Amino acid sequence: SEISCCREPVLFNFEEAGLGWIIAPTGFYTSECAGSCHAHNGVRTSSGMTIEHSCRPNNRKPLSVLYITKSLNIRLGLLPGIVVMDCSC
């Protein structure tokens, strides 16, 4: 049977993603949304097409990071909506 829509944990590494200018944290746990939304009926358009629901982030939160600017200053910043908290169809 298919797995219903849920969060799958993912370790994101800034340097591996080409974002080495972020110095802390070096990585963080977030999630990908995966699974089936078959329990939810699709939406039928006026042309008769059915648009299926997809498993997607429902709630996200920001992540605080320390980063180096182009002028080599260290700053504290916030990456908005990067940590997936839950998923829904």
Per-residue pLDDT 10s for the chain (89 aa) are: 567 899 999 999 999 999 999 999 999 999 999 998 876 555 555 676 666 789 999 999 999 999 999 999 999 999 999 999 999 99
Q: What is the pLDDT of residue 63?
A: 97
β-bridge partners, 68? 74
Q: What is the pLDDT of residue 52?
A: 72
CA distance 1 to 37: 13
Q: What is the pLDDT of residue 38?
A: 74
Please say whether the dihedral angle defined by the alpha carbons of residues 54, 33, 5 and 62, taken in this order, is positive or negative: negative
Domain residue spans of the chain:
6-38+46-88
pTM metric for this prediction? 0.71
Statement: 6-38+46-88 belongs to CATH 3.30.930.10: no
Q: What is the pLDDT of residue 53?
A: 81
Token pair 């042309």 is found at 47
